[in-house]
Each structure stands twice: as structure tokens, then as C-alpha cells.
Chains A and B, each alone.
Chain A
Amino acid sequence: MNRLAAGLIAITACAVSSGCAMQAPKPWQKGVLAKPEMTMAGDMLELKFNDHTWTSKEASFGGFGVGGGGCGCN
């Protein structure tokens, strides 16, 4: 009976603690994320400017926004 109680407590704890967890959207659910207004930078010109600085300072580029509209293909 103790085991049953422990099991129930464990299940309840997991259910409650994962209540706020969000599953990553599936590839076909990224329509909203792919909208231009969903990029982290508010302004495309500012993003390009920052990207340019990043490229020259870090010798690398990219990694911002959702490539190819979140297709997962490039």
C-alpha cells in the first residue's frame, strides 16, 4: 500500500511539475514562428547591422531567426 501511495505521489508530482512545460512545435506548426514579426530583433535594419558587427568580431555569421521559415531544411 505504501508503494502504491509513493507511486501516486510520484505521478502527481510529475504531472504537476510538467504542467508548465511546453512541447517544441512540430515542423508543420511553425507558421506563426516563421512570421517576420516573430524574430527576436524588432527591426530588420538593426538586426543586419548587429549581424555585420558580429561577423567581423567573431569571424562567424548566422544563427539568428528561423532559417528558411523554420523548414528545418537549410
Chain B
Amino acid sequence: MNPSLLRPSRHAIAAALLATVGLLPAAHALEAGQPAPAFILPTADGKTVSLAALRGHYVYVDFWASWCGPCKQSFPWMKALQAKLGGPHFEVVAINVDEQQADARRFLGDAPAGFTVLFDARGATPAAYGVEGMPTSFLVDPDGKVVLVHQSFKDSERDALAQKIAVLVGGAQP
């Protein structure tokens, strides 16, 4: 057999072996400067919202779950952020990753959002964004590029983070 014909099959075998034992590198978390993966997700009332439709806005994309304590703390903060910066330049979009939407609805009953909440029970969007902990948020600029990644939510960071976002968003306003 021609050895050159064997080479690709060796690679294929190696790849198959790695794949079967789960050693292929996992998707990495998005970093600032990378394009934000597109999403089209439903709201609670059956409408859909896509990231593409928000082109031209700064979008604060937050991944949250009802079982995540810090997510609960972040909701009033995001509400205030939306109230302060929301408008033609800025939008908070919180993507719920609960497998049962009823859990999310219960959570929202306790902590009304005041910003756009979308649902992704299948987890395709957090996978595309490479979310490594809950909550994780991404600030996407008007061109669809990630400009800020923030994992977790601590009370001690709330002012500094809001300030950072205000500066980034404020720079784009005419």
C-alpha cells in the first residue's frame, strides 16, 4: 500500500481515538475582541429576540439560572443598569439556562427583571459563548464584538463593573 495513503487514515484514527475518550479540547470561553456568537431565543411571552436585531446597540448578555445565588443578587443591579443606560445605545439581555422554565418563572416572580429575559433550556447559547461559571456576562459592542467578559457577581464589584460598562458604552454615544 502506498504509505502516503496511510497518513490521513492515521490522523483519522488518532482523532477518532481522542474523540472516543473525550480528550479533544473543549470550546474555550470567549474573550474580548472576538465576535459574539449569534442567537435567536424566545421570551416568556413567545416572541423571539436575536442578537442580530440588536446590532447597533451595546448588549449586555448575561447567562443566569434560578438555582444560582449570585444571579439573584445581580438582577436588581442589571435592572438599575438597564434603567440608567438602556435606550438606543444599550440593552440588557439575560439568557436563562434553566432546564425547567417553571423554575425561572418562579425566580422572576421574586425578582422582576425590568430588562429582556430569554430562555435557552437546551444550553446551546452558553455552550457557544463558552460559559465557565454562573453567572457570566458579555458586553457586546454595536459591531457584534465582545468587549468585556465578566464571570460571577459579587456585591463588592457592582459599582466598579457598572462604571466600567458606563465608560465603554458612553464612549459610543454621539
What A residues does B103 contact at CB under 8 A?
31
Interface size class of B (residues with CB under 8 A): 20 to 34
Residue of B nearest to A1 (CB): B1
Residue pairs across A and B with CB atoms within 8 Å: the count is 89
Give Cα distance in the complex from A21 to B99, angstroms.
23
Q: Map CB proximity to B onto A1-17 as digits: 1 under 8 Å, 0 otherwise.
A: 00110010011001100
- Which of A22-30, A39-47, A48-56, A57-65 interfaces with chain B? A22-30
Which of B67, B132, B135, B154 sits near A30, CB closer than 8 Å? B67
The smallest beta-carbon distance between B129 and chain A, in angstroms, is 10
Residue of A nearest to B20 (CB): A14
User: Which residues from 124 to 142 on chain B have a C-beta closer than 8 Å to any C-beta of chain A?
Assistant: 126-127, 131-136
- Which of B9-17, B45-53, B166-174 interfaces with chain A? B9-17
Interface size class of A (residues with CB under 8 A): 20 to 34
User: In the complex, are the beta carbons of B98 and A31 less than 8 A apart?
Assistant: yes
Give Cα distance in the complex from A68 to B72, angstroms.
11
Q: Map CB proximity to A onto B26-54 as digits: 1 under 8 Å, 0 otherwise.
A: 00000000000000000000000000000
User: In the complex, are the beta carbons of B123 and A29 less than 8 A apart?
Assistant: yes
B153 in the interface (beta carbon within 8 A): yes
The smallest beta-carbon distance between B127 and chain A, in angstroms, is 7
B22 in the interface (beta carbon within 8 A): yes
User: In the complex, are the beta carbons of A18 and B134 less than 8 A apart?
Assistant: no
Residues of chain A having any CB pair with chain B under 8 Å: 3-4, 7, 10-11, 14-15, 18, 21, 23, 26-32, 34-35, 68-74
Residues of chain B having any CB pair with chain A under 8 Å: 6, 9, 13, 16-17, 20-22, 63, 65-71, 97-100, 103, 123, 126-127, 131-136, 151-154
